[in-house]
């Protein structure tokens, strides 16, 4: 029986997971939409991973979670390690490209840059509140143009003279885009202009003041858009590496971190047959009125967070355990 390590990266838009062997090879992987329900998504991920491991004689002995739902899914899976996505992405990418010096990452609502030197992350930046220039920006523009977002990159590549689009803000970009269409620009040039706008916006925001040195690796959902990749190459003057498994880097990184903890506990895929329920409650114990969220496994309280003090969790725990089991 070989040991395996499960890493799950639950983002706002997509959920990614891998099982790796002790030598870091990927034994199973899955990528699917979170659809606003991280628990259901993680159950589907587990259902997809288990058959891939059939016959491989592997036992998962440690679990790690990352991404914006990392705490929730960490509790559901009983994870040994729960870590932020920047660290996870850096770890995963370093395992494939030990010499990487810059990581671009553009996801559904986040964009980030990680600067590494000698195999160690030394600097990073993340977008602020605004999601301009991320995947959700691209998909809303593609809807407006009536082009499936998957074909966006091909349209951009057919353009010979990209038009200039203001990428600073989704609202302005949209009015700019409509204006450019109305005065007769070809749709290909508009799409290519949008890809340029994404890149310029990225470099002027999260990339501001960072030294972008090769090798550059580009990850996140938007890296699947060849138009944006080409724009990055042209504008930065560097070759930009996009791995086929680039979308799995967070999951791979967190699996490696789970392996590194050394803590082991046999993981049971049967966890997907249990009923997990999340409930949110306003504590009401003091004027802070914290929004406390907690998870029940088959009606039993397993974890909760969101409280600023210990009493809040105890209060909801008592309420939860007293409450009738649902589902």
- Per CB under 8 A, residues contacting other proteins are 68, 83-87, 118-124, 126, 128-129, 209, 286-290, 306, 308
> In the complex with other proteins, which residue's Cβ is closer, 4 or 121?
121
> In the complex with other proteins, which residue's Cβ is closer, 179 or 308?
308
CB of 184 to other proteins, least distance (A): 40
Phi, psi of 314 (to 5 degrees): -60, -40
CB of 85 to other proteins, least distance (A): 7
> In the complex with other proteins, which residue's Cβ is closer, 24 or 210?
210
CB of 12 to other proteins, least distance (A): 11
> In the complex with other proteins, which residue's Cβ is closer, 299 or 306?
306
* Extended strands (E) in the chain: 2-10, 14-21, 26-33, 58-66, 81-82, 102-106, 111-117, 120-126, 216-219, 240-241, 276-282, 291-297, 300-305
CB of 298 to other proteins, least distance (A): 27
> In the complex with other proteins, which residue's Cβ is closer, 46 or 79?
79
Structure tokens at 288: 């802070």
CB of 287 to other proteins, least distance (A): 4
Order across the sheet with 102-106: list the strands: 120-126, 111-117, 102-106, 216-219, 240-241
Surface-to-core class of residue 294, CB atoms within 10 Å of its CB (0-12 exposed, 13-18 middle, 19+ buried) = buried
d(CA 290, CA 268): 34
Cβ atoms < 10 Å from Cβ of 161:
10
């Amino acid at each position: 029986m070989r040991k395996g390590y499960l890493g799950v990266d639950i983002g706002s838009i997509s959920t990614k997971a891998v099982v790796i062997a002790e030598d870091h090879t990927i034994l199973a992987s899955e990528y699917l939409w979170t659809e606003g329900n991280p628990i259901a998504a993680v159950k589907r991920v587990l259902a997809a991973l288990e058959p891939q491991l059939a016959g491989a004689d592997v036992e998962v002995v440690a679990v790690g979670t990352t991404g914006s739902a990392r705490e929730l899914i960490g509790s559901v899976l009983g994870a040994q390690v729960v870590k932020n996505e920047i660290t996870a992405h850096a770890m995963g990418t370093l395992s494939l490209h030990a010499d990487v010096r810059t990581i671009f990452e553009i996801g559904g609502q986040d964009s980030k840059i990680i600067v590494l030197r000698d195999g160690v992350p030394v600097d990073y930046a993340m977008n602020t509140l605004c999601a301009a220039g991320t995947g959700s920006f691209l998909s809303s523009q593609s809807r407006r143009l009536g082009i499936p977002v998957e074909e966006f990159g091909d349209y951009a590549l057919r353009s010979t003279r990209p038009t200039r689009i203001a990428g600073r803000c989704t609202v302005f970009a949209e009015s700019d885009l409509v204006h450019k269409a109305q005065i007769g620009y070809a749709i290909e040039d508009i799409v290519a202009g949008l890809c340029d706008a994404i890149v310029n916006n990225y470099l002027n925001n999260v990339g501001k003041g960072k030294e972008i040195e090769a090798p550059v690796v580009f990850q996140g959902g938007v890296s699947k858009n060849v138009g944006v990749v080409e724009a990055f190459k042209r504008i930065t003057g560097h070759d930009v590496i996009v791995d086929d498994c680039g979308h799995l880097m967070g999951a791979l990184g967190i699996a490696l971190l789970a392996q590194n903890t050394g803590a082991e506990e046999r993981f049971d895929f049967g966890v997907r047959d249990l009923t997990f329920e999340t409930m949110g409650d306003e504590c009401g114990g003091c004027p802070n009125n914290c929004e406390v969220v907690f998870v029940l496994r088959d009606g039993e309280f397993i974890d909760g967070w969101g409280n600023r003090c210990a009493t809040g969790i105890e209060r909801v725990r008592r309420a939860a355990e007293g409450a009738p089991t649902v589902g």
